[in-house]
Every structure is written in structure tokens, then in C-alpha cells.
Amino acid sequence: MDTRNIIGYRYAQGDNITFKAVDPSSGTSLPGDFYIATLAEVEEAMTLAWKAFNEYQHIGKDKKVAFLRAIAEELKANGQEIIERAMSESGLPSPRLQGELGRTTNQLNMFANLLEEGSWVEAIIDTAIPDRQPLPRVDIRKMMVPLGPAVVFGASNFPLAFSVAGGDTAAALAAGCPVIVKAHPAHPGTSALVANIIKKVAEAQGLPEGVFSLLYDYGYVIGEALVKHPNTKIVTFTGSLKGGTALMKMAREREEPIPVFAEMGSINPIVLLPLALEKRSEELAKTYTDSITMSVGQFCTNPGLLIAIKSEGLNRFKTALAEGISEINSATMLTPGICANYQRLVNERISSTEISVISQSDKLNAEKVNQGLAAVTEISAADFLANEKYKEEVFGPYSLLVVADDVNQLEQVLNSLHGQLTATVMADAEELPNYKQITNQLAILAGRVILNNPPTGVEVGNAMMHGGPFPATSDSRFTSVGTSSIKRFVRPVCWQNWNEDLLPDELKTNNPLKIWRLFNNEYKK
């Protein structure tokens, strides 16, 4: 494993200052010294990226398709080594990481398929009408073009699918944007293995040098320099609200402000309606025990808030949830920082007078460190409404049940929430028509509204919307999962009055790429 920074096709080791990866389950260092990049290396990577952009944006779909597919193949071929390293760096178990590797390669292939199909460029053609009265109409043709070099901040909780070769990188490369990854210091070895694959493939396929670079840091200097570099045209990020808003501020204050697409998490409210609780309280408790504790709760879609009206069914739900949660063994959290943060927030909540404990697991694995223990607590709707701090995310296997006196109070709780990635209603078909106000409210709150499913488990596809109003993300108009996530990396340009031979193929009248287009108000190929 080469642990140096990757700048185009060369390796760089900055000022020879290194850091080590930590195994969060033992707290011990893992093999490998990772070289912290310098500002000079940021400059070099960004200069190369800009040069590469001029060429890469025009190389055509076939070369981009081959690039994405070859990365996926190489990831598969080296899967065992990558998964083993990711396990030791993240504490995540093998089956979870096997699934994540599959998701990563599927995402790369999904974008390759999207490019082959071609309509994603949203070509629109209004041909000239020279004899239109009172004025002639000129020929205008519009499509999406890539924005430019993209800086990608990987997520700690998805060391593969939201990291070096994750969804952001795949979408950016598909769009025609070079990628510069700021490696997440929680999994530098996994990042190195994946980045070396991308470098090798890019070089072997003769792609412009600088189409991909990866820089390490153990702090904010390199990330900040990348965001502020004039050649950076877009930033993507998955992580904390604090980190995301810091990057947004930097990008806004640049001489040329640029978009930051930050996915900053969510408490993903779940409304449990009375009839559903009455009819299937045990089943709902099982669903939410699993969803709250899956991957030690380290999902941005973790159900951190349950909301219900007091009832006998709710009491039965609480009893079953308490039993379920008390049976959950502790497990290793991603980083010592994430674990310490989790324990601090849970302790704060448990010790506050407004909150009571429904259940807290005591099944601690004392042989390992950085263990997350599941907990579920309860608060009255009145106290919840009076305390802004309970609307914040507790990243880990935790959920807060808010108990309302009646439907009006339940609605007030929903109305008081900030933007979310998801909002769910668990309901019986019979009762849904009586809660129109509630179900309508969900789509105002969140990017994905769910009926009778847990929010964890984000399908990667064409229709997925993984985003939502601030603070869930920095821009509720875009998704960071699925084919539509490519839209973050493009902007529309229209060509007015150009000769056929000078137009991009996507916009030529005879449609050589045979893609769907809106041609004089009619969708056709």
C-alpha cells in the first residue's frame, strides 16, 4: 500500500510529516505512515486538475464509461484487501463492508450506464423560426456541462460508498469533473488502497493527468486550502453540521463563491399513529430496535426521533422497545471522537430532568474500546417544544420518543423541526385519511417521505432523493445518492445561433447520440 499523497500520476510526501490510522476497537495504531500534504501540493494538484478539466470534459462518453467500469472491476478484484483494511480502520463488520463495496461498484457502473444512455445532459432544442412575427426566433440549444474540478470530502461512516471512489467521486467523474479527494483521517489506509486503484486505471487508460488526486491531512489546513483554491468549482461533503457549515462559509467568502453540497445528517422523525400502535406495537418495536441500532446507529438516516400520542398501544410499544434495546450488545464506533461525542450527548440527555430512560443496554464488550451502547429515552411533547437542543442529532444507536397529549400537539412537534433527510409515518391504512395534515407536513420537512418502512437503507437508483432542507443539507434541491446526484456537478449552457458542425453532438439536429431530447416542445430521440 502506497501511503503518499497522489497528485495526478506522481506520489508526494509533503514535508515528511506523517500520521497513523487507529483501530477504534483497540485504540492501537495500524500499519502505515500517511504523509500530510503541503500547501504547495494543493497548488500542484489544483493546477493539474484545471489542465485536466480542459481535456477531460471533452473526451466523450466512451472513455468516461470505460474509466468508471474499470475502477469498479479493480475494486472488486482487490475487494478482500480493501475490506480487511476498512474493517480494522472503522470497526465495521465484514458483511456490512462487503455490502458497501458492492454498493460502491454498483454506483460506478450505474453512472457508466447513465452516460451510455445519454439523456442526463437534458438537451433542449428550439430551432430558428425566421418568419415568426413580429420578430424571428433564433436557434437556441441548451444542455448541461461540467462545472470544473470537484473537491470531495469523504464520510467517516461509509469508508467505501461515500469516500474515495464513492457516489460523489463517481458522479463527478461521470459529469466530466476532475476529482481531488481530501482523505478522511479515520480511514486513510482504505483511502490509499482505493486511490491507488483510481490512479492506476486513469494512467493505464491515458486520461489527462490530474483527473484524480488524493491528499491526506490530519486537521483542517489542507481541506480549507482546497475549498479556497480558485480552480475548485464545487465541493461535496458528508459529515457534521459544524464541518459542513464551516466549508459553506469558506466557499461563500471566496472571491468567486462556489457551491458546497454538504450532507450534514438528520434526526429523521418517525410518526407512530395510534391504530398502527394498537394493532402491531410489538412488530413496530422490533423494526425500530433494528433500525436504531444497525451499524451502531452510525447512519445519517438513523431514526433519532419517535413521535406518538399517548395510548395503551404506545405503552406496549415502549415495553417491547425497552426489551429489544436492552438485548443489543455494544459495538465499536467509527472513531474515538465519534464515540466520545455519542457518550457525552447520551449522558447529557439521561441526566436532564425532562428526560426519562426507556431502556439503555448494559451489554458492554469490555475487551474492546470505543463501544457504543444503545439507548432510548422519552420526553413529553411540551418539554420537547420548549428545548431547542433536543432537535439536534445524537450520532449513534440512540432515539428520543416524544409523547404528545393529542394530535394537535403531535402536529406542533412536527412543525417545530428543522429540515430532515427523511420523515416517516407508521400507520394503518384505515387511519391515514384522518391524518392528512400530518402526512402533508412530512414533505415540507424532508427530502424522502416514508410510509411504513424504516428510514435506514437508502436505495441507490434513479428515483432516490437523499437530501432535504437545511440543516440536513446545504441545498434541498439536490440529492447525494442515485443518478440525479450528477446534477450537482453540472450547469446549463445554451448555444445560440451556432452552425451544426460547431455544436456538441448532444445538440446536433440529426441526434447522432440518439438520446432523448426536448426538440421544439416534443420529447423524442
Active site residues: 263, 300
Q: According to CB under 6 A, which residues from 392 to 411 bind ligand NAP?
A: 393, 395
CA distance 490 to 506: 15
CB–CB of 271/450 below 8 Å?
no
DSSP 8-class letter at 8? T
CB–CB of 240/154 below 8 Å?
no
Given candidates 24, 166, 185, 189, which one binds ligand NAP under the rule CB under 6 A?
A: 185
Q: According to CB under 6 A, which residues from 108 to 167 bind ligand NAP?
A: 153, 155-157
Is residue 341 a contact residue for ligand NAP (CB under 6 A)? yes
Instruction: Note if the bond before 134 is cis, omega within 30 degrees.
Output: yes
Q: Please, what is the minimum distance in Å from the beta carbon of residue 42 to ligand NAP?
A: 12
Q: Please, what is the minimum distance in Å from the beta carbon of residue 170 to ligand NAP?
A: 18
Query: Contact letters (x/-) for ligand NAP, 238-257, by CB under 6 A?
Result: xxx--x--x-----------
Task: Name the residue nearer to ligand NAP (CB basis): 344 or 525.
Answer: 344
How many residues interact with ligand NAP (rule CB under 6 A)? 26
CA distance 345 to 351: 10
Is residue 100 a contact residue for ligand NAP (CB under 6 A)? no
In this structure, which amino acid lies at residue 160? L
Q: How many CB atoms lie within 10 A of CB 463?
A: 9
Is residue 381 a contact residue for ligand NAP (CB under 6 A)? no
Task: Name the residue nearer to ligand NAP (CB basis): 111 or 395.
Answer: 395
Given candidates 264, 267, 401, 490, which one binds ligand NAP under the rule CB under 6 A?
A: 264
DSSP 8-class letter at 28? E
Per-residue b or e along 148-174, where b marks 16 or more CB atoms closer than 10 Å to that residue's CB: bbbbbbbbbbbbbbbbbbbbbbbbbbb
Is residue 260 a contact residue for ligand NAP (CB under 6 A)? no
Given candidates 55, 126, 224, 475, which one binds ligand NAP under the rule CB under 6 A?
A: 224
Given candidates 201, 300, 321, 404, which one binds ligand NAP under the rule CB under 6 A?
A: 300
Q: Please, what is the minimum distance in Å from the beta carbon of residue 371 to ligand NAP?
A: 15
Is residue 184 a contact residue for ligand NAP (CB under 6 A)? yes
Is residue 220 a contact residue for ligand NAP (CB under 6 A)? yes
CB–CB of 307/402 below 8 Å?
yes
Task: Name the residue nearer to ligand NAP (CB basis): 420 or 511.
Answer: 420
Closest to 173 measured CA to CA, from 254, 283, 265, 57: 57
Given candidates 338, 376, 404, 410, which one binds ligand NAP under the rule CB under 6 A?
A: 338
In the sheet that 356-360 helps form, which strands lie side by side, from edge to edge? 356-360, 375-380, 398-404, 305-309, 269-272, 420-426, 446-451
Given candidates 8, 14, 208, 223, which one binds ligand NAP under the rule CB under 6 A?
A: 223
Q: According to CB under 6 A, which residues from 422 to 451 bind ligand NAP?
A: none
Cell of 14: 509533503
Is residue 336 a contact residue for ligand NAP (CB under 6 A)? no
Q: How many CB atoms lie within 10 A of CB 440?
A: 10
Per-residue b or e along 323-361, where b marks 16 or more CB atoms closer than 10 Å to that residue's CB: ebbbebebbbbbbeebbebbbebbeebeeeeebeebbbb
Is residue 263 a contact residue for ligand NAP (CB under 6 A)? yes
For 141, the 3-state DSSP assignment is strand
Q: Please, what is the minimum distance in Å from the beta carbon of residue 506 to ligand NAP?
A: 34
Closest to 24 measured CA to CA, from 262, 263, 298, 222: 298
Task: Name the residue nearer to ligand NAP (CB basis): 236 or 484.
Answer: 236
Task: Name the residue nearer to ligand NAP (CB basis): 146 or 454.
Answer: 454
CB–CB of 315/346 below 8 Å?
no
Given candidates 91, 146, 265, 304, which one binds ligand NAP under the rule CB under 6 A?
A: 265
Task: Name the residue nearer to ligand NAP (CB basis): 118 or 265.
Answer: 265
Task: Name the residue nearer to ligand NAP (CB basis): 38 or 157.
Answer: 157
Closest to 100 measured CA to CA, from 56, 50, 164, 49: 164
Is residue 44 a contact residue for ligand NAP (CB under 6 A)? no
Q: Please, what is the minimum distance in Å from the beta carbon of residue 445 to ligand NAP?
A: 17
CA distance 31 to 130: 70
Q: According to CB under 6 A, which residues from 464 to 503 bind ligand NAP?
A: none
Q: Please, what is the minimum distance in Å from the beta carbon of residue 223 to ligand NAP?
A: 3
Closest to 357 measured CA to CA, from 322, 320, 307, 329: 322
CB–CB of 194/2 below 8 Å?
no
Q: Please, what is the minimum distance in Å from the beta carbon of residue 238 to ligand NAP?
A: 5
- Residues in contact with ligand NAP by the rule CB under 6 A: 153, 155-157, 182, 184-185, 217-220, 223-224, 238-240, 243, 246, 263-265, 300, 338, 341, 393, 395
